[in-house]
Amino acid sequence: MIKVGIVGGTGYTGVELLRLLACHPHVAVDVITSRSEAGTYVSELYPNLRGHYDDLAFSEPDAEQLASCDAVFFATPHGVAHALAGELLERGTRVIDLSADFRLRDSDEWSHWYGEPHGAPELLDQAVYGLPEVNRERIRQARLVAVPGCYPTAVQLGLLPLLEAGLIDADRIIADCKSGVTGAGRGAKVPSLLAEASESMKAYGASGHRHLPEIRQGLADAAGRPVGLTFVPHLTPMIRGIHATLYGRLTTEPDDLQALFERRFANEPFVDVMPPGSHPETRSVKGANLCRLAIHRPGDGDTVVVLSVIDNLVKGASGQAVHNLNLMLGLDELAGLDAPAIMP
């Protein structure tokens, strides 16, 4: 069995890693950290995992113990992987970071958006952006993977075929996105309270959100030039899910947009291009490592509208992280990830 560690095991992405890895045929979780719950058994905190990890308890993060694992996931706020990844990599442990620490190639841009100096710029050269639909071969060789953010996953998958084919105006792209409250993590925060977040909806970060530079970086790679992007996230009263409505202006008459998307993702196990006219629902991907896409061209005009849905905790975080692990270790890509969504 492959031994893995999880730093930040009490958070929402940490427990989602535990849920997915419980059904992984080749992986055993050996170390799981939490500073606030050190000594607590996993099954005491998360009863859904009773019967799976009965002997596993949270422990304080300890580099020595983590370095004994084949791979370590960081399911922590930004800055934590900066501090620990270098030592683990030096000692031969692969690192899969779910935080934003290694997603931006430019350390100055990272400092600008995260408001502090980049903690490990010397590792950026070896970090691979873990979007398998773009970087599959590089991920197979990687020792350090930066798992994309939730909004960036939904937005990039919906726009890649159009930008790669040069079909839309790359200067005027709009991504109107909605997230469930688990996107904000498990820590207590007033905007996530039931009375604040339910029966209401609001935009936030409209003038600039941390995912903007990450999405721009990926879309620019696809377009082969810088892009102009308006990205507005919204908090919606659901627990899980991202719904991205993406708008592009066609600059040339395309042959068949539906066929373009179907071809682009034909060999991708975790992207589902739905039949023409579909409106994917976030609940249709709940719990599944899947992005469902639908392509529309209202009134046969010059605007293409792509609808993209993911579960922020699965394809937007922990599922994608496990997919990266499978690629890095040469395992079946679907291992641990073939469960369908939960409905209703």
Ligand X SMILES: CC(=O)N[C@@H](CCC(=O)OP(=O)(O)O)C(=O)O
Ligand Y SMILES: NC(=O)C1=CN([C@@H]2O[C@H](COP(=O)(O)OP(=O)(O)OC[C@H]3O[C@@H](n4cnc5c(N)ncnc54)[C@H](OP(=O)(O)O)[C@@H]3O)[C@@H](O)[C@H]2O)C=CC1
Vertex 315, ends 309 and 319: CA angle to 5°? 155
Q: From residue 150, give the alpha-carbon distance in Å to each of 89, 99, 258, 267.
A: 25, 10, 24, 22
Using CB under 6 A, which of the segments 47-55, 133-141, 179-187, 318-326 binds ligand X?
179-187
**Contact flag: residue 179 with ligand X (CB under 6 A):** yes
Whether 177 is catalytic: no
- Binding interface with ligand Y (CB under 6 A): 7-14, 34-37, 61, 75-78, 80, 98-99, 149-150, 182-183, 185-187, 312-313, 316-317
Partner whose footprint covers residue 233, from ligand Y, ligand X, none (CB < 5 to 8 Å by kind): ligand X
Both tokens assigned to 9 = 């095991």
DSSP letter for each residue of 259-305: HHHHHHTTT-TTEEEPPTT----GGGGTTSS-EEEEEE-GGG-SEEE
**Contact flag: residue 238 with ligand X (CB under 6 A):** no
**Contact flag: residue 99 with ligand X (CB under 6 A):** yes
Residue 97 phi, psi dihedral angles, 5° rounding: -105, 120
- Given 69, 150, 177, 291, the catalytic residue: 150
Using CB under 6 A, which of the segments 161-169, 178-186, 265-273, 277-285 binds ligand X?
178-186
**Contact flag: residue 100 with ligand X (CB under 6 A):** yes
Work out the angle between the directed axes of helices 319-328 and 132-141 (0-180°, nearest 10): 40
**Contact flag: residue 150 with ligand X (CB under 6 A):** yes
What counts of helices (H) and strands (E) characterise the chain? 11, 13
Q: How far is the CB of 179 from ligand Y (least distance, A)?
A: 8
Q: Looking at the annotation, which residues are catalytic?
A: 150
Contact footprint for ligand X (CB under 6 A): 99-100, 149-150, 179, 183-184, 210-211, 233, 235
